[in-house]
Amino acid sequence: MRITCPLCGDRDRREFYYMGHETYLNRPAADAPLPEWDAYLHLRDNPAGDTQELWQHEAGCGAWVVVTRNTVTHEVKGSELAETYPREART
C-alpha cells in the first residue's frame, strides 16, 4: 500500500504512522459531557468502504495527513493536510 503525502508525494506505507479515524481531529472541549468524550475516544462508524483517517508521515516530513482510503480494497483515494482539514463545529 502506498500513501500520498500532500507535501512529499507518493510514499510507501511504512513511512506512515496510523492513528485512527479522523474523529480524532474533533476533540471535545475539556468540560464536554462524558458521552461526548466516550464517542471521541471509543465509538467508531467503522465503515467497510471509503473512510477518512488520520495518518502521520512519521518517517518523512512529519505532517499529519487525512487520508481517504477504502478499507475493503486498500485503495488510497486522496489526502490532505490535517492542519487545513475542516473540523466539525462543536459547541
Partner 1 sequence: MRYSAWQILKQGLTGNTGWQPHWRSPEPKAEYDVVVIGGGGHGLSTAYYLAKEYGITNVAVLEKGYIGGGNVGRNTTIVRANYGIDGNSEFYSHSLKLWEDMEQELNYNTMMSQRGIINLFHSDGQRDAFAKRGNMMISQGDDAIMLGRDEIREMLPYISYDNPRFPVYGGLYHPRGGTARHDAVAWGFARGADQRGVDIIQQCEVTGIDIENGVVRGVQTSRGPIRAKKVAIVVAGRSSQVAAMAGMRLPIESHVLQAFVTEGLKPCVDHVISFGMGHFYLSQSDKGGLVFGGDIDFYASYASRGNLHMAEHVMEAGMALMPMIGRAKVLRSWGGIMDMTPDGSPFIDRTQTEGLFINCGWCYGGFKAVPGSGKCFAHLMATGDHHPAASKLRLDRLARGHVIDEEATGSQHNLH
Q: Is 7 in the site for partner 1 (CB under 8 A)?
A: no
Choice from 10, 31, 33, 42 touching partner 1 (CB under 8 A):
42
Pick the closest to residue 61 from 12, 13, 16 (CA basis): 16
Out of 13, 77, 87, 90, the only residue in the binding site for partner 1 (CB under 8 A) is 13
Q: Is 35 in the site for partner 1 (CB under 8 A)?
A: yes
Q: Which of residues 68-87 bind partner 1 (CB under 8 A)?
A: 69, 71-74
| CA 35-38-43 angle, 5° bins | 115
Radius of gyration of the CA atoms of the chain, in A: 14
